[in-house]
């Protein structure tokens, strides 16, 4: 049921207004904080006000001036979009508190907080986009708005990482533009629809080419190997950026795009029939994507094992975990889709906890390498405890968030009769244990080198977000069945897409 | 007939240790005396609440309590049948002995708060596994329990302990992957994961799928049950943990692995289907291999706790052999051996702990004449060792008797022979310890005799003669248990009556 409403526009607009205000008045620390916090809370309230109706299947729509003939600027809040918007606006509040503590004493804070707000604005725009064109516009805006945050330090390393980031993502963006144009040419529309807008009459080979084009385009931000190169480099950014943008907003925009392509552009039924024969071998679109995801899951985990830089290990773990979502979507089975969508949230809360911890440790002790973290659990026991919860969640220990994902994706793999992906998931959990648990172990069981075991936690603005997110990780697993939780929304999305 | 009764008791059994864990954590690292008392009180309470369920359970009542939904359509719930209760009572009883012993053993050790917190936490998760009402609940507790064991295994924080802990984690996490696969696959095949007597599968699902499921259960839980060649972590982790916890590791934890296999075989797949698949016998043969090889390796070990650990691997084989036979007698033997082995091996490890604590000795070759210093402790050790060998009237004999009868039921003489060889090997590696302790003179005494100085006749001062009560009492209670379980095996309320009930329903 579609309902016309202004709120889908209001939600992205409010953080945009916030950005303008910060640019204008942000030299004053108090005002800057006031704008950031109040707009993030306000936005969250707007998004949440749409949540109950969205659960019941109501779709809010705002339509503005058309860009071009037949292509309007449409914001349309379906269950999947709602899911992504709730996620990013919730995490924005927490990250804002964290950023206030973390950026204390850094330079160019006005620029930082303003662009931070723009990024969140465009992320919600991506979530609410009602057609491919609107999606593309917000997607590209997100790319650009992230750049000043990546290069925030303005060191040579940061500038280099920024350049790499732009080269990767803009190339991906142009592929998406090409694919969008091609979709318009084929289907005569780019409006996202519950069961897809393309049909087999356009020719299997053409469609397959289009599919690959889309996947390569969105795959850059989704960090599907080998398109992942920019993500580990971008870790030079300040930690709140790595946390919110490189674990949630930016990378999830890529994964979200892939989900949209599979279910809302091609459609569940069409993708299932999309099989090309290449020199005698039948390749189906779904299994090609699943295979790419599987390679990334294992490859990302193996690379993570090799990293000593704390944030880089987290980055490779993100690469691996993002492909859980892609795999879930690509399985084309009900449980798989649910697992993939719900992992948008589960991975976000787990990984953001980890980044917050990495940042808190770096800020408090200046230690950025895992090999320096001897006995950090003696000095910062609560911080490391939240990290432990998140790690166990990543491994998929019940009853934590990660387990819910693992459960549904494994079930999805069995439903799709592709048991090999169950094996991939299980191997990956084991690798997760192999690269996260040594950090916990080093923190709690190895004595600090300097013998100093006095407890000294980070400032509360850094500690509280860690604790809140860790509690979320537990709650998302323990209360997965309650009506107002991500899983219910994911199921709503899944049932409309797979009808 | 099965009568299901809603009862909050199972929740209490898990809830009490959890609440006490928090309390002990909250009182900080100073108050040792208070912590010790709270820990013993907690385990005693848990034991008593578990016992409360026993009388009705032996009349055929099954206690259930549905707590909450974890994943839509899948309940987190408790269902206490006779097998589960047999395990829960055994676990809490052994835990009580080990906790009292811990009070004495941990005197003067470091990180006592961590030790006792995790000791109680593990109790909660362990009884959770045994009282779980479906595979999903079981899996949750099983995983929590596997992780919570780690800080106890590495307690000493020596390089060897840390290496053993790492090995443990690798083995257990790999096993957990197969367990998870079994859980998902069960749900996929049957659309349900509830434990039902007689199983929830049907042959219509296909022979291949069910066979895969069976072996996945065995592989997953077999890591914890130390089926060779999945046993690698046992000989490292068991000796290195503090001795009271070694008693739990060997007595209960590995048996929980066997519990998982039993649940998979009887409550999920169903005994009849396992029989039709013809997978029971191959498993039994693998187990025979485990029993013999582990006993031979045990012979070569000089470290007492390591020898005990290898003995555990063999004894777990008894349990799994019993259930793999799929006959009433075999099942009886396997199930009662859970309790019998817990008491025997628990007592042995607690004795080993006393020896380490009082005399600082870990190797058997150094234990000449220690019975002079620890007469009661070594007396209890001897009783438990005789039980391990299977001599009447100890508990071990009852297990062996029913296992042999079970083997004859399937007309496989080979299993009887394996059991008898294992007994002989058991005698070969346990009796020399008893001999060394009681009949060999300490080295310094022999040297003294050689040089003509005869001062060694003097008895040691009274204060050094035995271990303190907190170490001695659990050992004596354990030995008493070994004898009672042997003499009074037929008494209503002891493991055999529960095993009969369980068997009757599982094999129907």
Interval B467-490: pLDDT, tens: 788 888 899 999 999 998 888 888
Q: Residue B460: its pLDDT value, please? A: 53
Q: Label residue B453 by pLDDT band (50, 70, 90).
A: low
Measured between beta carbons, the chain B residues lying within 8 angstroms of A404 are: 71
Assess whether pLDDT exceeds 70 at residue A52. Answer: yes
Q: Residue B126 has what pLDDT?
A: 94
Compute the distance between CA of residue A122 and CA of residue A126 in angstroms, rounded to an integer.
6
pLDDT at position A365, please?
86
User: Do the Cβ atoms of B188 and A411 come within 8 Å?
Assistant: yes
A392 CB neighbours in chain B (<8 A) are 147
To the nearest whole number, what is the mean pLDDT of chain A?
88
Above 80 in pLDDT, residue A453?
no
Q: Is residue B457 part of a domain?
A: no
Residue B398 has pLDDT above 80, yes or no: yes
- Distance of residue A430 Cα from the nearest chain B Cα, in angstroms: 7
- Chain B positions contacting chain A at CB under 8 Å are 68-72, 76, 139-140, 143-144, 147, 154, 157, 162, 169, 173-174, 177-178, 180-181, 184-185, 187-188
The token pair that represents A351 in the structure block: 């990984």
pLDDT higher than threshold 80 for residue B449: no
Nearest chain B residue to A420, by CA = B181
Beta bridge partners of B76: B68
Please tell me whether the peptide bond between B63 and the residue prior to it is cis, using omega within 30 degrees of 0: no
Nearest-CA distance A124 → chain B (Å) = 28
User: Residue B444: pLDDT above 80?
Assistant: no
pLDDT tens for A195-242 read 888 888 888 889 999 999 999 999 999 999 889 888 998 888 888 888
> What mean pLDDT comes out for the span B156-163?
87
Cα B6 to Cα A25: distance, rounded to the nearest angstrom? 64
Residue B216, domain member (yes or no): yes
**What's the pLDDT tens digit per position in A331-340?**
988 889 999 9
pLDDT at A292: 93
CB contact under 8 A, B174 and A433: no
Range of the domain at B364: 3-452+463-506
Residue A343, pLDDT score: 92
Q: Does residue A390 carry a pLDDT above 90?
A: yes
Cβ count within 10 A of residue B278:
10
Partners of A491 on chain B (C-beta within 8 Å) are: 72
The answer to whether the Cβ–Cβ distance between A398 and B143 falls below 8 Å is yes
Do the chains contact at A411 and B187, CB–CB below 8 Å?
A: yes
Q: Helix/strand/coil (H, E, C) string of B44-81? A: HHHHHHHHHCHHHHCCCEEEEEEEEEEECCEEEEEEEC
| Chain A nearest CA to B71, separation (Å) | 5
pLDDT at A459: 83
CA distance A129 to A191: 9
Q: Does A406 touch chain B (CB under 8 A)?
A: yes
Which band of pLDDT confidence, cut at 50, 70 and 90, is reported for residue B464?
Answer: low
Residue B106 is assigned to a structural domain of this protein: yes
ipTM: 0.81
Compute the distance between CA of residue B12 and CA of residue B502 in angstroms, rounded to an integer: 23
Chain A hits for B174, CB-CB cut-off 8 Å, are: 430
- Of A273, A304, A397, A289, nearest in space to A340 by CA: A289
What are the domain boundaries of chain A? 2-497
What six digits make up the tokens of B111? 């990180």
Structure tokens at A460: 């509360």
What integer pLDDT is reported at residue B496 of this predicted model? Answer: 84
- Give the residue from B138, B184, B187, B189 with the most A CB atoms within 10 Å of its CB, the best one to mutate: B184
For B189, which residue in chain A has the nearest alpha carbon?
A414
Is pLDDT at A189 greater than 60 in this prediction?
yes
Q: For residue B53, how many other CB atoms are within 10 A of its CB?
A: 24
Q: With 50 as the cut, is the pLDDT of residue B456 above it?
A: no
Q: Which of A426, A437, A487 sits opposite B180 (nearest CB)?
A: A426
Categorize the per-residue pLDDT at B451 as very low, low, confident or very high, splitting at 50, 70 and 90: low
> Quick one: pLDDT band at residue B350, thresholds 50, 70, 90?
very high
| Residue B463 clears pLDDT 60, i.e. is over it | no
Task: Give domain status of residue B458, yes or no.
Answer: no
Give pLDDT, residue B465.
65
Higher confidence at residue A18 or residue B454?
A: A18
Convert the pLDDT of each residue in A360-386 to its tens digit.
Answer: 998 888 888 888 888 888 888 899 999
Cβ atoms of B86 and B495 closer than 8 Å: yes
Is the bond leading into B229 cis (omega within 30 degrees of zero)? yes
- Gap between the Cα atoms of A196 and A434, Å rounded: 41
Instruction: Please indicate if any CB of chain B lies within 8 Å of the CB of A384.
Output: no
Question: In terms of Cα–Cα distance, which of B421, B346, B339, B412 is closest to B384?
Answer: B346
- Whether B340 and B495 have beta carbons less than 8 Å apart is answered as yes
Distances in whole angstroms, Cα of residue A162 to Cα of each of A120, A158, A159: 19, 6, 5
Average pLDDT over residues B301-319: 91
pLDDT at B450 over 70: no
In the block, tokens 């096993």 appear at B175
Q: What is the pLDDT of residue B104?
A: 86
What is the pLDDT, as a whole number, of residue B1?
A: 66
Q: Which residues of A touch B185 (CB under 8 A)?
A: 414
Quick check: A475 contacting B, CB < 8 Å? no
CB contact under 8 A, B173 and A406: no
Count Cβ atoms within 10 A of the Cβ of residue A123 and give its class: 0-12 exposed, 13-18 middle, 19 or more buried. Answer: buried
Asked whether residue B376 carries a pLDDT value surpassing 80, the answer given is yes
**What pLDDT is attached to residue B60?**
83
Q: In chain B, how many domains are there?
A: 1
- B234-280 confidence digits (pLDDT tens): 888 888 889 999 999 998 999 999 999 999 999 999 888 998 888 98
């Amino acid at each position: 049921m579609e309902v016309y409403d202004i709120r889908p526009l209001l939600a992205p607009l409010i953080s945009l207004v916030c950005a303008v205000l910060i640019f204008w008045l942000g030299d004053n620390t108090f005002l800057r904080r006031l704008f950031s916090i109040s707009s993030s809370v306000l936005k969250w309230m707007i998004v949440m006000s749409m949540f109950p109706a969205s659960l019941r299947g109501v779709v809010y729509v705002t339509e503005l001036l058309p860009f071009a003939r037949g292509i309007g600027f449409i914001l349309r809040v379906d269950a999947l979009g709602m899911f992504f918007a709730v996620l990013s606006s919730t995490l924005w509040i927490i990250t804002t508190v964290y950023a206030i503590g973390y950026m204390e004493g850094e330079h160019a804070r006005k620029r930082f907080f303003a662009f931070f707000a723009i990024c969140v604005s465009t992320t919600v725009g991506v979530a609410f986009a009602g057609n491919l064109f609107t999606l593309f516009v917000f997607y590209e805006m997100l790319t650009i708005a992230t750049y000043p945050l990546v290069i925030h330090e303005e060191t040579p390393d940061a500038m280099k990482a920024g350049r790499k980031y732009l080269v990767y993502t803009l190339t991906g963006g142009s592929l998406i533009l090409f694919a969008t144009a091609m979709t318009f040419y084929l289907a005569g529309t780019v409006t996202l629809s519950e069961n897809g807008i393309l049909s087999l009459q356009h020719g299997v080979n053409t469609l397959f080419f289009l599919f690959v084009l889309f996947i390569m385009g969105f795959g850059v931000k989704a960090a599907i190997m080998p398109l992942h190169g920019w993500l580990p480099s971008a870790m030079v950014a300040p930690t709140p950026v790595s946390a919110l943008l490189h674990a949630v907003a930016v990378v999830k925009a890529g994964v979200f795009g892939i989900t949209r392509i599979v279910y809302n552009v091609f459609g569940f039924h069409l993708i299932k029939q999309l099989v090309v024969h290449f020199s005698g071998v039948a390749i189906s679109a779904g299994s090609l994507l699943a295979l790419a995801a599987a390679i990334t899951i294992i490859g990302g985990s193996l690379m993570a094992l090799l990293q000593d830089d704390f944030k880089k290990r987290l980055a490779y773990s993100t690469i691996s975990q993002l492909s859980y979502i892609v795999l879930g979507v690509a399985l084309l089975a009900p449980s798989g889709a649910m697992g993939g969508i719900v992992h948008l949230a589960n991975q976000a809360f787990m990984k953001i906890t980890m980044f917050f911890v990495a940042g808190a440790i770096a800020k408090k002790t200046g230690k950025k390498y895992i090999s320096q973290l001897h006995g950090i659990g003696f000095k910062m026991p609560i911080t490391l405890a939240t990290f432990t919860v998140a790690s166990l969640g990543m491994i998929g220990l019940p009853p934590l968030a990660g387990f819910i994902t693992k459960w549904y994706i494994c079930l999805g793999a069995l439903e799709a009769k592709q048991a090999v992906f169950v094996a991939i998931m299980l191997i990956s959990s084991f690798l997760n244990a192999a690269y996260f648990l040594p950090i916990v172990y080093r923190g709690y069981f190895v004595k600090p080198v300097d013998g100093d075991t006095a407890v000294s936690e980070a400032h509360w603005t850094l500690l509280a977000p860690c604790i809140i997110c860790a509690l979320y990780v537990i709650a998302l697993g323990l209360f997965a069945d309650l009506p107002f939780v991500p899983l219910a929304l994911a199921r709503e999305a899944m049932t409309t897409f797979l009808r | 007939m099965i009568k299901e009764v809603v009862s909050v008791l199972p929740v209490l059994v898990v809830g009490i240790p959890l609440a006490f864990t928090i309390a002990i954590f909250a009182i900080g690292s100073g108050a040792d005396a208070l912590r010790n008392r709270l820990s013993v009180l907690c385990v005693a309470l848990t034991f008593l609440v578990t016992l409360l369920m026993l009388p009705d359970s032996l009349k055929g009542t099954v206690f259930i309590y549905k707590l909450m939904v974890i994943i839509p359509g899948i309940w987190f719930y408790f269902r206490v049948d006779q097998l589960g209760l047999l395990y829960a009572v055994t676990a809490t009883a052994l835990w009580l002995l080990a906790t009292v012993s811990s009070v004495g053993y941990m005197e003067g050790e470091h990180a006592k708060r961590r030790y006792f917190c995790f000791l109680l936490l593990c109790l909660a998760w362990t009884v959770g596994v045994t009282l779980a009402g479906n595979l999903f609940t079981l899996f949750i507790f099983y995983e929590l329990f596997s992780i919570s064991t780690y800080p106890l295994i590495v307690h000493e924080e020596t390089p060897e302990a840390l290496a053993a802990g790492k090995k443990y984690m690798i083995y257990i996490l790999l096993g957990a992957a197969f367990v998870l696969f079994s859980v998902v696959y069960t749900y996929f095949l049957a659309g349900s994961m509830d434990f039902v007597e007689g199983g929830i599968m049907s042959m219509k699902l296909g022979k291949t799928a069910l066979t895969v499921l069976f072996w996945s259960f065995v592989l997953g839980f077999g890591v914890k049950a130390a089926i060779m060649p999945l046993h690698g972590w046992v000989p490292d982790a068991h000796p290195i943990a503090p001795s009271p916890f070694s008693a739990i590791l060997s007595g209960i934890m590995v048996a929980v692995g066997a519990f998982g296999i039993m649940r998979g075989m009887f409550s999920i797949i169903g005994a009849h289907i396992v029989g039709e698949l013809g997978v029971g016998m191959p498993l039994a043969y693998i187990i025979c291999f485990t029993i013999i090889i582990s006993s031979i390796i045990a012979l070569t070990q000089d470290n007492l706790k390591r020898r005990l650990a290898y003995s555990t691997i063999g004894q777990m084989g008894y349990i799994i052999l019993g259930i793999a036979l799929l006959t009433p007698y075999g099942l009886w033997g396997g199930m009662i051996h859970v309790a019998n082995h817990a008491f025997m091996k628990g007592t042995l490890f607690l004795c080993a702990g006393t020896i380490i604590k009082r005399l600082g000795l870990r190797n058997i070759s150094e234990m000449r004449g220690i019975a002079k210093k620890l007469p009661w402790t070594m007396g209890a050790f001897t009783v438990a060792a005789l039980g391990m060998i299977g001599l009447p009237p100890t508990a071990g004999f009852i297990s062996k008797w029913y296992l042999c009868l079970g083997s004859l039921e399937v007309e496989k003489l080979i299993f009887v022979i394996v059991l008898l060889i294992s007994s002989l090997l058991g005698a070969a590696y346990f009796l020399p310890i008893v001999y060394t302790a009681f009949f060999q003179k300490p080295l310094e005494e022999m040297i003294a005799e050689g040089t003509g100085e005869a001062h060694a006749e003097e008895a040691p001062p009274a204060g050094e003669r035995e271990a303190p009560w907190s170490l001695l009492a659990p050992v004596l209670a354990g030995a008493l248990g070994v004898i009672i379980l042997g003499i009074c095996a037929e008494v209503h309320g002891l493991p055999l009556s529960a095993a009969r009930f369980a068997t009757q329903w599982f094999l129907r």
